């Protein structure tokens, strides 16, 4: 079989721009070159698409668009969908795209919509699953409807900010609260609050990033993660654990300091607990309409209740990222995982191509 050409799409208009570059570098370095050729496409912070070269991606200071080869996408063509603006030449067609673009504009269905319009198979969930999973409020509604454990929460809108009554929220959710923007990631804008003053500071912070925020009752439990993949047939990996020395899994603990220890697999989980978490992760994935892949993050309470915190539809793929490491620990190597995700993207595309698009 001749090699397939994969478009690796990274960067993006998101606070997770830099994380995305690191994820892309790792995928590029791990992908099986005997099976795949890679076209690197970077999305700059301003949203422009550029053709990238591998040297720039490998550079720790990588700034997208260094060569200034801007790309245009051309809708409606069977081939010839990506054009260099400097020369007017089309890029070689890709068989699939691997978007490793975290957060808003990359993981929330908008980019997935562009790829769908271009009729290019792509890795990860489709438009609806991506959009729902990005929105913590809608995720909660679906989990509630499906009878899956979730943290109790209240949704607040920016246009009603002046009318927020702390005492009402405290009465309903208790004193220890988590406040977060509904559409964000990497813990950006997420705070813990235990009193009125902290609460309003947290609300103001969260509203910087979204017009809709969520106040949640703090869940007391272990923080565990499960890697899930598949379209119709859904597979769940072994379980990983995040243990914090202090505080919660905020941006600093995620990326800046060494306070968070990651255990793969999680220690001291009984077979029954393990199975319950994997089953809940698969159920949540199906209920949320996810396909391709997602990392499903949960809490396990003292009385063995599994509370789904959130799905991440394009999880980190850095060298230390949980998603590929969980699969490695489950017997699927990083290069084989990439190949499997690409195969799932193509299979879904072919499946949906069979659907009738006209009435007769």
Ligand X SMILES: Nc1ncnc2c1ncn2[C@@H]1O[C@H](COP(=O)(O)OP(=O)(O)O)[C@@H](O)[C@H]1O
Residues making contact with ligand X (CB under 6 A): 151, 178, 180, 184-187, 190, 216, 218-219, 223, 248-249, 297, 309-310
Nearer to ligand X (CB atom), residue 243 or residue 329: 243
Q: What is the largest CA-CA distance in the chain?
A: 65
As measured in angstroms, the least distance from the Cβ of 91 to ligand X is 33
Residue 215, C-beta contacts closer than 8 angstroms, at least 6 positions apart:
153, 154, 156, 169, 173, 177, 178, 179, 199, 203
Nearer to ligand X (CB atom), residue 216 or residue 241: 216
As measured in angstroms, the least distance from the Cβ of 208 to ligand X is 14
Closest CB to ligand X: residue number: 249
3-state secondary structure of 304: coil
As measured in angstroms, the least distance from the Cβ of 134 to ligand X is 9
**CA-closest candidate to residue 13, choices 67, 40, 49, 62:** 49
Residues facing 51 on adjacent strands: 41
Other beta carbons within 10 angstroms of residue 98's beta carbon come to 28
Alpha helices in the chain (DSSP H): 17-30, 54-58, 110-117, 127-134, 136-145, 166-173, 196-207, 251, 271-287, 322-329, 334-353
d(CA 161, CA 204): 9
Sign of CA dihedral 141, 143, 144, 145: positive
Sign of CA dihedral 105, 106, 108, 111: positive
As measured in angstroms, the least distance from the Cβ of 190 to ligand X is 5
Nearer to ligand X (CB atom), residue 39 or residue 312: 312
d(CA 47, CA 32): 29
Nearer to ligand X (CB atom), residue 39 or residue 191: 191
Nearer to ligand X (CB atom), residue 90 or residue 248: 248
As measured in angstroms, the least distance from the Cβ of 223 to ligand X is 6
As measured in angstroms, the least distance from the Cβ of 248 to ligand X is 4
Other beta carbons within 10 angstroms of residue 203's beta carbon come to 21
d(CA 177, CA 192): 6
Nearer to ligand X (CB atom), residue 7 or residue 181: 181
As measured in angstroms, the least distance from the Cβ of 297 to ligand X is 6
As measured in angstroms, the least distance from the Cβ of 192 to ligand X is 7
Nearer to ligand X (CB atom), residue 41 or residue 296: 296
In the 8-state DSSP scheme, what is residue 189? T
Nearer to ligand X (CB atom), residue 82 or residue 296: 296
């Amino acid at each position: 079989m001749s090699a397939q050409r994969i478009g690796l799409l990274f960067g993006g208009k998101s606070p997770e721009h830099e994380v995305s570059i690191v994820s892309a570098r790792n995928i590029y370095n791990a992908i099986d070159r005997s099976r795949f050729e890679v076209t690197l496409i970077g999305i700059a912070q301003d949203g422009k698409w550029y053709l990238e070269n591998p040297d720039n991606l490998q550079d720790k200071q990588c700034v997208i668009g260094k060569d200034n080869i801007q790309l245009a996408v051309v809708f409606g063509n069977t081939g010839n969908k990506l054009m260099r603006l400097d020369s007017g030449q089309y890029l070689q067609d890709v068989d699939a795209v691997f978007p490793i673009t975290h957060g808003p504009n990359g993981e929330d269905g908008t980019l997935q919509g562009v790829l769908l319009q271009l009729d290019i198979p792509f890795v990860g969930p489709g438009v609806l699953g991506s959009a729902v999973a990005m929105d913590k409020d809608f995720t909660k509604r679906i989990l509630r409807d499906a009878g899956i454990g979730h943290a109790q929460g209240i949704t607040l809108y920016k246009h009603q900010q002046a009318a927020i009554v702390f005492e009402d929220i405290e009465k309903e959710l208790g004193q220890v609260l988590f406040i977060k923007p509904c559409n964000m990631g990497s813990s950006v804008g997420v705070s813990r609050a235990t009193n009125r003053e902290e609460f309003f500071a947290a609300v103001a912070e969260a509203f910087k990033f979204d017009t809709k925020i969520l106040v949640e009752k703090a869940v007391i439990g272990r923080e565990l993660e499960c890697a899930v993949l598949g379209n119709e047939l859904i597979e769940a990996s072994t379980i990983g654990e995040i243990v914090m020395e202090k505080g919660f899994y905020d941006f600093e603990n995620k990326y800046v300091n060494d306070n968070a220890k990651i255990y793969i697999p999680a220690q001291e989980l009984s077979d029954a607990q393990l199975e319950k978490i994997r089953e809940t992760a698969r159920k949540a994935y199906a209920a949320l309409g996810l396909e391709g892949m997602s990392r499903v993050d949960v809490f396990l309470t003292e009385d063995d209740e599994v509370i789904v915190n959130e799905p991440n539809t394009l999880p980190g793929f850095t060298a230390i990222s949980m998603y590929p490491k969980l699969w490695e620990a489950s017997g699927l190597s990083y290069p084989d995982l990439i190949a499997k995700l690409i195969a799932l993207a193509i299979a879904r595309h072919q499946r949906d191509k069979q659907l009738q698009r006209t009435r007769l």
